[in-house]
Amino acid sequence: GFQFRSRPECSEIIQKLVKTRPFRFSRAALETLAIIAYRQP
């Protein structure tokens, strides 16, 4: 699996976004995020 993590100072804004509009990542977006996570320093 994977976890979507963000900075604590962004939590209030993110909570508002999640409550108003649930979303799913597309397959292409998940693949892109996986590549970025794999290649990070």
The two three-digit tokens of residue 2, written as one number: 């994977």
Write the DSSP string, 1-41. Answer: -------GGGHHHHHHHHHH------HHHHHHHHHHHHH--
Record the pTM.
0.42
Confidence of residue 1 (pLDDT cuts 50, 70, 90): confident
b/e 21-36 (16+ beta carbons within 10 angstroms → b): eeeeeeeeeeeeeeee
The two three-digit tokens of residue 1, written as one number: 């699996």
Residue 4 pLDDT > 90, yes or no?
Answer: no
Residues 17, 9 contacting (CB under 8 angstroms): no
Domain extent listing, the chain: 8-39
Confidence of residue 21 (pLDDT cuts 50, 70, 90): low
